[in-house]
Amino acid sequence: MAKDYTELAQDIVAHVGGKDNIIKLVHCVTRLRFTLKDESKADDDYLKQRDGIVTVVKAGGQYQVVIGNHVPDVYDTVLKVAGIQGEGGIDVNEGDVPQGNLLDRFIALVSGLFQPMLGALSAAGMLKGVVAILAAFGVSDTSGLYVILNAAGDGFFQFLPVILALTAAKRFKMEQFTALALSFALVYPDIATSFANGNVDFLGIPVIFPASTYLSTVLPIILTVYVGSKIEHLFKKIVPDVVKVFVVPFFVLLITVPLAFLIIGPVMNWASDLIGVIFTGIYNISPILYGLILGALWQVLVMFGLHWGLVPLAILELQQNPSGVILVASIAICFSQAGALLNIMIRTKESKVRELAIPAFISALFGVTEPAIYGITLPMRTPFIMTCVAGAIQGAFLGLFNVKMYVMGGMGLFSIPSFISSENGSNLVYYLIAIAMSFVLGFVLTQFVKIPYLYGGPKDASAITEEKVVEPVNDLKELKQEIIASPMIGKVVKLENVPDEVFATGAMGKGIAIDPADGIVVAPASGEITLVFPTGHAIGMRTENGAEILIHVGMDTVSLAGKGFKTFVQVGDKVEAGQKLLEFDLTAIRDANLPVISPVIVTNSSEFEDVLTTQDSRVNAGDYLLTTLA
């Protein structure tokens, strides 16, 4: 008779914050994988101590409740008690932003919107650096080489609102082409020219258009798409289906575009102007205090687009005077991002983070910090805070020595000529010290904080440490034992080095792992198949002597939804040692940036005196792998 998991399921739903806190629920071979609106509402301590739950893990944006081999039954029961409909989804907006304090919500939203574009964003930033190098070596800005490469790099940043419209549309569940239409209106070339003449109104309401235009901005388009999504959802409910395909977008554009130009955009402009007034007042009080505050907050101002309140003032200052100070404290902050990224590259155990950090590091050196901020340091939280601290210190230093800039020049390394003065040689020296200070502080301060996982854990074998020596099985021949053979060919990895907390801590049982050299899994002993996960990435069996073995191919491979996996057995099949159980595509797993390290676990380890593992560093299928001692 099947066990009743109703009480357990009710407890799980209640202690993850209730049904209303659940955005999505799926499961893999051992755990329930929740996506929650607010993880702080989940009671970790209760769930970890609750009978029927192995542990709780937070990784890869998921709240994972580890159940064990019977997770499919618990999952089905959770669906019923929580009223979840179909395939683990529930009737909520999958675009809901996780809740929590405003900062957490903003970070989660912005990181999610920038995540899909990080590769192209980093590449564009590197091209901007190449263009800066060309200019430094005397290549004319009218040459075909300069113009084309500048368009390739700067075009992405100029039309960032268009790209953000796509990702925001997905987040807010809006029709993507309607969202694109909204972005096209904001960056429409002729509208800036029309508004530049002034005295433009919309049905008698004055239109306040920023001199900087909406190119390269972030928040205006995000807010515009959000408002547009609400209007779209409303009209979808009231417009007849027969005309919905064109009538709904018509009303969305008709209402949202004017709102963007009359309310959303001007609010951002007023906020920018207010920032300019505030910071000018602070500078008049104390240049050191000004540098400290601007250095600390500059990156935050940039994220909200509020820095535009200072840029026009800085341009005007240099037009009226031979030198300026308004933006000095902000110029070298990009090097704090570079220093933090270097530390992250050295310390991270995730290959994907390292791959993204390299081009972001290069971009940061040339003053383009968007890939660094939105792709790595901001989602990691504490490294971003450390760069703000570094920015504050270097800003105070520049204010203390009254460092000035003489032209609105390049960014990053190419900002150095802007600080050269024929009358004050120490001005450049102090700026170079600030660059070094910013870089070193970014690196050193990040050393004091934990480097969190962004993608769930280590993604390659570089994170694996040397295995410890275990006692030979031959010394224990007097005990009842069962030999478990290796189901794969590959390098042997100690369980503690598996890039997954649940397996690494032994929560699922004792065992070992293999870094496979090919894509074939065979039976490690004779017995009966007890589990074949629908996606094919995991198989369980019970040996003739009672050991329950779980073979889990790769980490987070449930996300592949069966791609690259082919099983040859079903639950209930009797198998012989060496019989083929499944095949998998190593390339498909690696292309998805997932670890291929595959644990082989004795899930009922508590029923044995001990589980011993091989001392060999590499095994072939059929070689000795484990010994269970009863």
- How many angstroms separate the CA atoms of 457 and 454, rounded? 7
Predicted pLDDT at 473: 40
pLDDT at 357 > cutoff 70:
yes
Long-range contacts of 236-239 (CB under 8 A, 24+ apart): none
Question: Which residue's structure tokens are 């409740």?
Answer: 65
pLDDT at 455 > cutoff 90:
no
For residues 555-566, average pLDDT: 86
* Burial profile 143-166: b = 16 or more Cβ within 10 angstroms, e = fewer: eeeeeebbeebbebbebbbbbbbb
Q: Which fold has domain 466-629?
A: Glucose Permease (Domain IIA) (2.70.70)
Predicted pLDDT at 480: 63
The whole-model pTM stands at 0.49
Neighbours of 540 (CB within 10 A): 21
At 586 the three-state DSSP class reads helix
From 270-284, 358-372, 508-522, the region with the lowest mean pLDDT: 270-284
Nearest-5° angle of CA 569, CA 574, CA 575?
70
Domain 6-100, CATH homologous superfamily name and number: Glucose permease domain IIB (3.30.1360.60)
Burial of 311 (0-12, 13-18, 19+ CB in 10 A): middle
Question: Which residue's structure tokens are 């069996």?
Answer: 541
pLDDT at 166 > cutoff 50:
yes
459 within 8 A of 351, measured Cβ to Cβ: yes
From 105-109, 314-318, 340-344, the region with the lowest mean pLDDT: 105-109
The tokens describing 143, both together, are 């040459």
Q: What percentage of residues in the chain have a pLDDT greater than 90?
A: 25
Nearest-5° angle of CA 247, CA 249, CA 254?
95
Could you read off the pLDDT of 601-617 as tens digits, one per residue?
Answer: 998 888 888 888 888 88
pLDDT at 317 > cutoff 60:
yes
- How many angstroms separate the CA atoms of 379 and 383, rounded? 9
User: Helices marked H in 406-504 — which ranges?
Assistant: 425-447, 501-504
pLDDT at 599 > cutoff 60:
yes
pLDDT at 396 > cutoff 90:
yes
From 108-122, 286-300, 513-527, the region with the lowest mean pLDDT: 108-122
pLDDT at 468 > cutoff 80:
no
Predicted pLDDT at 44: 87
Could you read off the pLDDT of 122-138 as tens digits, one per residue?
Answer: 677 678 777 877 876 78
Q: Where is 572: in which H helix or E strand?
A: none
Predicted pLDDT at 57: 80
What one-character-per-residue DSSP string does 2-48 give?
Answer: PPP-HHHHHHHHHHTT-GGGEEEEEE-SSEEEEEES-GGGS-HHHHH
pLDDT band at 546 (very low <50, low <70, confident <90, very high): confident
620 within 8 A of 486, measured Cβ to Cβ: yes
pLDDT band at 478 (very low <50, low <70, confident <90, very high): very low
Neighbours of 352 (CB within 10 A): 17
151 within 8 A of 127, measured Cβ to Cβ: no
Predicted pLDDT at 553: 92
Nearest-5° angle of CA 587, CA 588, CA 589?
90
Question: Which residue's structure tokens are 């909200």?
Answer: 304
Q: Which residue has the higher pLDDT, 73 or 465?
A: 73
pLDDT band at 46 (very low <50, low <70, confident <90, very high): confident
pLDDT band at 583 (very low <50, low <70, confident <90, very high): very high
From 122-126, 258-262, 422-426, the region with the lowest mean pLDDT: 122-126
Predicted pLDDT at 475: 42
Predicted pLDDT at 279: 80
For residues 219-229, average pLDDT: 90
pLDDT band at 87 (very low <50, low <70, confident <90, very high): very low
Q: Which residue has the higher pLDDT, 135 or 288?
A: 288
pLDDT at 83 > cutoff 70:
yes
Neighbours of 568 (CB within 10 A): 16
334 within 8 A of 436, measured Cβ to Cβ: no
Predicted pLDDT at 397: 96
pLDDT at 363 > cutoff 50:
yes
Highest mean pLDDT, choosing among 217-221, 286-290, 465-469: 286-290
Burial of 616 (0-12, 13-18, 19+ CB in 10 A): middle
Predicted pLDDT at 91: 35
User: How many CA atoms lie less than 13 Å away from 372 in the CB half-sphere?
Assistant: 33
Burial of 189 (0-12, 13-18, 19+ CB in 10 A): exposed
Average pLDDT of the residues of the chain = 82
Burial of 562 (0-12, 13-18, 19+ CB in 10 A): middle
196 within 8 A of 137, measured Cβ to Cβ: no
Predicted pLDDT at 327: 87
What residues are labeled active site? 28
Q: With CA atoms as reference, report the closest residue to 341 among 365, 357, 363.
A: 357
Domain locations along the chain: 6-100, 102-112+286-457, 466-629
Amino acid at 482: E
Amino acid at 587: T
Which residues of 427-537 form beta strands (DSSP E)? 481-485, 490-493, 510-516, 520-522, 527-532
Strands 565-567 and 580-584: antiparallel
Predicted pLDDT at 197: 64
Neighbours of 585 (CB within 10 A): 14
Q: What percentage of residues in the chain have a pLDDT greater than 70?
A: 86
Question: Which residue's structure tokens are 């081009």?
Answer: 359
For residues 243-268, average pLDDT: 90
Q: Which residue has the higher pLDDT, 209 or 551?
A: 551
From 369-373, 442-446, 473-477, 601-605, the region with the lowest mean pLDDT: 473-477
